[in-house]
Amino acid sequence: MEKEWSFPLPPQVEAVLERLERAGYPAYAVGGCVRDVLRGETVHDWDLCSAASPQQVMELFADGRVLPTGIRHGTVTLLRQGEAFEVTMFRREGHYDGRRPGIVLPARTIQEDLARRDFTVNAMAYSPYRGFEDPCGGRRDLEAGLLRAVGEPEERFREDALRILRGLRFSACFGYKIEEKTAGAMVSQASGLGKLSGERVWQELWKLLAGDFAGEVLVRGQEILRRLRPGWESLNLSAEDGLLFRQMGGPWGRLALLLSRLEEPEAALLELRCPAEGKKRVARLLRQGKSVGHGPFPAWLGEFPRELRREDARSALILSGNQGKMGEMAEILDSGLPLTVGELSINGAQLQQLGVPPGPALGQLLRELLACVWRGQADNEAGALAALAKELL
């Protein structure tokens, strides 16, 4: 234990720890929040653990709001000055079902609690009264950029297969190299991924895709991902794909690229528990990635919603292997040309005032006006388009 080592805590966190300590319950900030402080990152969620049981915590903080959010697993949530803090009892866990412990048992010490966590970089704790606890060598691994399972890797991943995806996610987000024995166990225990709920798989996959190192991790971890769901066994990523992931504008484009390397990407997309709007966006990327080069380029760009156009058109070009058209795409978008009839400076109601009857002829005229703007025959200005419409009538 290193009592001389310390770091500043938010006042609300320190107040909670102080009250627990004064009541005779050793208490620590634990896990990811300690890791992120050591990495110099902003901490968004402070998780605390204590020798106090959930009932004792609820009694001790009865003057405020305490929610029994996870009392079955030893956790309650304190609401203090507009912020929420989870407080979990020191615990050791009994038999797992491949996803969660069947029973949760109290532990006597923080060291016993840390010994049952997933990775060494998440198995650190800090108390301003008791110092820094790092029985698994997490600080050493953090400084080395290494992701190592706590204890026996095979057992950790057999207990909870979600830890396999968490390991890939940490590697993708932080750039950690996965320690050799840990990496081998992730592969050997990947069959357990089938027990995970679709919601939890999606949460981890989405965070992984957002990571700066997602491309390298997806390529290296594809043997694991082939066990993710039925249909994923066809996944085939090349070293070049790792570079393409980097070029993608964001996670949705990366998801489209990942799915495109399956034999049936649309079917895999339907099974993902992602938001409906996200599914529609990825389906459009997969579809438009196949249609680049068919028809006028401005019309193809117009298929993308205006607010997503630049990012998603870029992603679709990468999906199609037509990165050479990036310059043409940028030139068109930078020109400010209207790409749909809805972006013209004149609309159907105004054309009707000029004597154009509603119906197919009205839509055809709008399309002709759009084509004229694309060819440079008219500016996208209401007066110029009205004059041109009269000539075309």
Most distant pair of Cα atoms in the chain: their distance: 89
| Whole-number pLDDT of residue 80 | 85
- pTM for the whole structure: 0.88
| Whole-number pLDDT of residue 342 | 93
Residue 102 has pLDDT above 60, yes or no: no
User: Residue 115 is encoded by which pair of tokens?
Assistant: 């010994």
Tens-digit pLDDT profile for residues 124-175: 999 999 999 999 999 999 999 999 999 999 999 999 999 999 999 999 999 9
| Whole-number pLDDT of residue 33 | 95
Between 187 and 297, the higher pLDDT residue:
187
| Whole-number pLDDT of residue 6 | 57
> Given pLDDT bands bounded at 50, 70 and 90, which one contains residue 101?
low
| Whole-number pLDDT of residue 2 | 44
Residue 175 amino acid letter? G
Q: Which of 89-98, 183-192, 317-326 has the lowest mean pLDDT?
A: 89-98
Q: What is the mean pLDDT of the chain?
A: 92
Region of 217 (left: φ > 0; alpha: ψ -120 to 50; beta: rest) is alpha
Print burial letters for 23-56: b (CB count within 10 Å at least 16), e (below 16): eebbbbbbbbbbbbbbeeeebeebbbbbbbbbeb
Residue 4 has pLDDT above 90, yes or no: no
**Separation between Cα atoms, residue 345 and residue 384, nearest integer Å:** 9
End-to-end CA distance of the chain: 86
Tens-digit pLDDT profile for residues 334-390: 999 999 999 999 999 999 988 888 888 899 999 999 999 999 999 999 999 999 988
Residue 260 has pLDDT above 80, yes or no: yes
Residue 70 has pLDDT above 50, yes or no: yes
Instruction: Say what the alpha-carbon torsion angle 247, 169, 224, 161 is, to the nearest 10 degrees.
Output: -160
> Given pLDDT bands bounded at 50, 70 and 90, which one contains residue 39?
very high
> Given pLDDT bands bounded at 50, 70 and 90, which one contains residue 262?
very high
For the chain, the residue count is: 393
**Separation between Cα atoms, residue 225 and residue 223, nearest integer Å:** 6
Please, what are the domains in the chain?
A: 1-144 (3.30.460.10), 145-268 (1.10.3090.10), 275-336 (no CATH), 341-392 (no CATH)
Give the closest residue to 272 by CA, choosing from 258, 288, 289.
258
Residue 99 has pLDDT above 70, yes or no: no
Residue 94 has pLDDT above 80, yes or no: no
**Separation between Cα atoms, residue 129 and residue 51, nearest integer Å:** 14
Three-class SS state of 129: coil
**Separation between Cα atoms, residue 257 and residue 252, nearest integer Å:** 9
Using alpha carbons, list the distances in angstroms from residue 285 to 97, 195, 266, 281.
Answer: 38, 30, 11, 6
CB neighbour class for 276 (10 Å; exposed up to 12, middle 13-18, buried from 19): exposed
